[in-house]
Amino acid sequence: MKFFVDTADVDAIRELADLGMADGVTTNPSLIMKSGRDILEVTREICGIVDGPVSAEVVATEAPAMIEEGKKLAKIAPNIAIKVPLTWDGLKACKALSGEGHMVNVTLCFSAAQAILAAKAGASFVSPFLGRLDDINLDGLQLIADIRAIYDNYGFKTEILAASIRSVNHVTEAAKIGADVATCPPQVLKAMAAHPLTDKGLATFMADWEKTGQKIL
């Protein structure tokens, strides 16, 4: 499974990239707002930190304007994935942009039917939102499973990018189901390293080592 970092915080991205934990980055208007920086400036900096896809989202809602915004964003760096919403106009923009050789991430996917359309339109990635489905008492992980089955049935090349990740469990379950990518906030990726038995075992080892009176350095 590939890990994308869901943030526009360049310090957090750099830390994870240095550890080999950032295969790409996803941003959106809300994350750009939190960064407090110009979208073109911060996106360019992120593209210089990671080699993999960096999703930059259009803000237009009609296809012609989405396409023009997408082309402008694509000029930032070769690893830009243009992010468009899963609307009819978004699908039109996806078809046009992917037809010109651009990576496209179709976002805000909430049904398997939508995911089929994204693949047919040439999306590089489709982003089903697990957490937001869970919020309304629907099964976000089941959506991942449904999309995986459909894509495998027909050999669609679009990668499933599990988004709206809220927990470590979301990541591990999405990996078991076969999501190609999980895009996570930095704190979720870091939480994957935590386990109370690891902490307990380390505390025991350190206490025993202290009793030996030895030093390695």
Mean pLDDT across 138-166: 97
Strands (E), the chain: 2-6, 24-26, 54-57, 80-85, 103-109, 125-128, 159-162, 181-184
Angstrom distance (rounded) from CA 35 to CA 197:
36
Instruction: Using a pLDDT cut of 70, give the percent of the chain over it.
Output: 100
**pLDDT tens-digit map of 176-192:** 999 999 999 999 999 99
pLDDT of residue 40: 95
Instruction: Identify the band that residue 156 occupies on the pLDDT scale cut at 50, 70 and 90.
Output: very high
Residue 63, C-beta contacts closer than 8 angstroms, at least 6 positions apart: 89, 90, 92, 93, 96
pLDDT of residue 104: 98
pLDDT of residue 204: 97
Angstrom distance (rounded) from CA 58 to CA 69:
6
Total Cβ atoms within 10 A of residue 45: 17
CATH of region 2-212: 3.20.20.70
Here the tokens at position 190 are 């870091």
Angstrom distance (rounded) from CA 36 to CA 186:
18
Residue in this structure with the two tokens 């704190």, named with its chain if needed: 187
pLDDT of residue 116: 98
* pTM of the complete model beyond 0.85: yes
- Give residue limits of the domains in the chain: 2-212
**pLDDT tens-digit map of 29-86:** 999 999 999 999 999 999 999 999 999 999 999 999 999 999 999 999 999 999 999 9
| Residues tagged active-site | 83
Residue 143, C-beta contacts closer than 8 angstroms, at least 6 positions apart: 109, 110, 111, 112, 128, 130, 133
